Each structure stands twice: as structure tokens, then as C-alpha cells.
Chain A
């Protein structure tokens, strides 16, 4: 993040938020990035999108290659330091910055990682707990019931549980229908789904079955990885369930095709 954009934010008197879009949103679903941007601006934040951002490094880290992501983590920490807050539309990547970056380092970089960790938030928890999203006009609720998929890192590392549900209710009048096993993993697990595809598919099937039994036609969530994996499995098995990121629902974006949907 440049000195100039940091200075601009500080001058406005509004909280300066660095939006870390995540690599999946960057590469596969920019609409989630733009929805996040809009939401943060509506919440009265000065938002910057640091141009150096790439990936938080989870793939290598979770496969046990800490050394490979040291340079990447330093770059990410340094880029986010000038902001008042770091907001990420993913519980998993937010968890990586909050919980795991500090463990990569000792000494000075450990302190710097901790400082960034302490101001890092998952998008919906930020919009609920830190910079409340105003609700001037109710958006058109999506047609059909909406179920919410709690991603594991959001749930356990970032304490995201009720925030997205409350926002969906206040912003689009959506009363989320609940899955029976809310706290069970969907089987994505980053590279896990490629290393153990059959077990991963079984877990996805369980999640899809759970979602289908609620009568929901839309399954939303805060992590694009889970949604891509579930959408891909639903399509392969011929299940009709739309996956959309919660940020898209919160800005009323119903034009963008669902994850994996035709243009």
C-alpha cells in the first residue's frame, strides 16, 4: 500500500481499510471483491486495495512448507501495516493472517505480524462488530430460501457465526435456514480436496444433502474456496443449488451468475 493512499485515508478522518481480496476472489470471482469494496464504503470506510496483494500463502503453509512463504508473508504484512484495519472476504485467509502469520516469525517480524493480526477481520464480522453496515433501504431479497455454510476457519479462528446471518437479515430481509450440521467441514480443505478427492467428495455430498434438506435454493457463505468446491460437486452430481458469496448477496448482486454458473 502506497504512502499516498495511506495519507489520503488518514486525511479523510474515516477508518482506513485495506481490502485483501484473496487469491481465489482475485482470480475467479472479482464480483466478490467489488461487493466487498462497496460494503466497506457503505460502512463509512476509506478503502484501499493494495496493489501488491497476491495470496496469503496457505497452500504451501498447510502442506508444511513454512520456509517457502516467509518472503510472501513479510510482503503481505508490510503492505498491510499502514491501514487501520485489514478486511478479508474469507475466514480462512483472515485466519491465516491472524492465527498463523505470527507463528512464522520470532523477534521484530513476530511483533509486526501480531500487529497486523490484531487489526485483521473477516468481512461480515467487521461489518457487524467494528464498522456497522447502515441499512438505508432494504434490498430485494433473493427468491428462494437461503442457507449459510459456515467455513471452519471463519467459525473457529475468526469467531464468525451470527454476524453474516444478522447482516443478511438486516440488509436483505433474509432469514437464513440452518443446516443440521453447521460446524462440520465441507471437505474442501484447500489442497486436501485434490489430494484425497474421494473422501472430500463424500464430505461435500453430506453438506449438499444437508443443505438440500433445508429446502434452500441458494447456499451462501463467506469463503469462496468452500463454495467453489461445493458448486463443482453439486454440478457434477446434478444437484440444483446456487452458490453465492455472502458479500454478493449483501450488495443485492443477483446479475452475476452463481459460482460455476454459465455466463
Chain B
């Protein structure tokens, strides 16, 4: 019993609403990612779940119990901070077993659990070091070890990988996901990196200005964005949004083809070669459009090419509100007059 539920949570700093009427559920044993640009309220939401902040309105439920007014310790959660929050004067071992000492776990059990956790996070040979003697990735593992040794069913992560380099980030992403599934933890994971969200999450909650923009599986967010903001936030490069004849339409770069006739004329500005594919950056009527092409694209800046796509791949958004206009499932577009 470790599902997390937020009901109409609101938190303000002065007049600014950091979290504005947010409701969501993280199923037991699942990984929920809170995604969004900086300042969107995702970290505050996590801190509200942790009990490090008190909501102005709404309730927080963990495992069916109302924990809104409990302290972080009473909520029986573990947490990994963006800065890792390692105690600089304590050794790796002491950092990991800090919580066990607080709870007066016997020495024998402490040692046994430390050994097990050190094996899981791969720190067995570094237990006597101080955090300052570790690399960024190793510090991250210490923070992870401290979070899992408590064997709490709920684990909260606040941008845990943002201080690591790209390669390590990729590695840790896989490891954290594997760990979460192996230990059956309910995890809430905050990030601004949509790749992390797409690759790790069971469910993604995309936030903007303190509100939930879209709550769904990674696939739903990618294939059926509910708003133009979601469309632009998910995917690299993001979905192309083009104003065409009073309509705002969105097409994924991989859904656009270079055709020899009956296409829209586009002017090539630049080409990015990624190896397996290339991104051709061009303009249609002065509006930027990215096109993904397989292999090594031979287009050169200044070329004029013709672009075409199937109407089934068109997403339509309201020009002013940015809301999705069609209601059919599966990304099948219905022609909306306007």
C-alpha cells in the first residue's frame, strides 16, 4: 500500500501560485515523472509530497492514509536531492546508514543492510571515503544508497541526474529504473529533461506555471499531445507547429517527407547530421520546420525542397488557447473547419 495521491493541492508564495490545484495519482510500484520547465512547480509538488512544505489547500495521501499534516519522517519516504545533500564530514558508509542510526537499528542489522545496499549501488570499495573524494556519479550512488537502505516503499527524486554528464546520465537512468522495478518502490521523479521522462516513466505529468498541462503515459504525451505546449515540450526536435490558413497544425519531424512534387516549398537553412539520421532545418513561409531524414541527408543550405505529410499525422491546436481540437483517439485527425 504505497500509492500516492494529491487532491486539489495548492501552494502559494506570497501572491505567486507555485502549485495551482494539482491532482494526480502515482500507482503503487510505478514511476511517475513530474516534468516541466524550471519554475513550473514540479519541485514544489515533490516537496509537498515529502512534507518539506505544507500545502495551502488540498490533501496528500500515501498508501490510503492522509499524511497532509505529518512530518517527512512520519510519512516513511526516502528522498534523493538534486544536490545529493550528502553529509560532507561523514564517510560514505556513515552517510548511507545515517537514517538507521537515527532509528537505532542494531549494529548487526546495520552492517548487513549496508553491505547489501553497497553491493546494489556498487560502492563496496569506497565505504571509507568522504564525499569530497568521490566523483559526481559516485556521490549520486551514495545518495541512492541512503535512499534505498531505509526500505521505504516511497522514493522521491528531485532532478537526481542533472549534475552528471550525458553518458553517466544515460547509465544512471537505466539503473534507477531497474532498481525501482526490482524493489517495487513507488517513485516520484522530478526532471526538466523530457528524455528522462520518456525513457523511465510509467506515467508523465507535464506541468506549466503550477498547473498540470497533461497527465498520461509517455506514449500518450508523444502521440496525442493535449496542448501545443506539450507538443513542443516532448520530442527532440520538438513537434513543428505551423500556422496555415488560420489553423495551427503540428507535425512530428519524422512524419514529414521530402517529396518530388505536390509538396509545400521549403528553404533549407541548415542540416544536422546525427549519424543514424539527419535533421534538416528549413522554413515554410518564414516558419521554422525540422524534418527528420534517415541516414546522411545530402541537402545543402539554400536548397529549396518540397515537403509533404499525411493528414493522419497532423495534430490540430486552437490558435489562442493551444488546446487540441480533435477528440478522436490514436492521433487520427478529423478535419475541423476553421
Is chain B a partner of chain A in the same complex? no
**Footprint of A on B, CB under 8 Å?**
none
**Footprint of B on A, CB under 8 Å?**
none
